[in-house]
Amino acid sequence: MINWLRRVILLLMTVNLIACSDPVPVNAFVKGSFSEIQNTYINRPHMIVFWSQDCAYCMKEFTFFENALSHNNKVKLITVATDPFLSADVINKLHQDNNLHDVEQWVFSESVKEKLYFDVSKNWRGELPFIVFVNKDKVMTKHLGILKEVDLIEWIKQQ
């Protein structure tokens, strides 16, 4: 009985520790941030996901990132909220709700979003969802629109 009680207490302490962990910092995405991210992960396959809290398709994609990333831990996920100055609490909650704990997080931090769209891609006008994939061979592919989970998993496995 005492061993069982100890295990329950240990489990509760572990859950509490995870729930109380410090939130991940949210970086300010300004002109030049896209290049900064590219340079940081130049030798690692990665995907940069641009999203908005009002984009239903973006929220749907968030639900399958954890499963997809479990197929290859070499792929880095970076997320960028396109809602200017969205609070870090909202961003962290979305990531926590989807079990995305080791994700680099950014938020648009300029009042004129169009400057940032152009900085990312000269042809991008802010349509979402928008994902930039950089594979193991450093080839960049831009995907505009909803992504199927099976396609994402396939890309991740190839890295």
- The values of phi and psi at residue 51, to 5°, are -145, 165
pLDDT in tens, 48-88: 999 999 999 999 999 999 999 999 999 999 999 999 989 99
Pairing of strands 76-81, 46-51: parallel
Specify the pTM.
Answer: 0.86
Q: Is 35 exposed, middle or buried (0-12, 13-18, 19+ CB in 10 A)?
A: exposed
8 Å CB contact between 80 and 49:
yes
Q: Would you kindly state where each structural domain of the chain is located, as residue ranges?
A: 23-158
pLDDT in tens, 5-52: 444 444 444 444 444 456 789 999 999 999 999 999 999 999 999 999
CATH assignment of 23-158, among 3.40.920.10, 3.40.50.720, 1.10.10.10, 3.40.30.10: 3.40.30.10
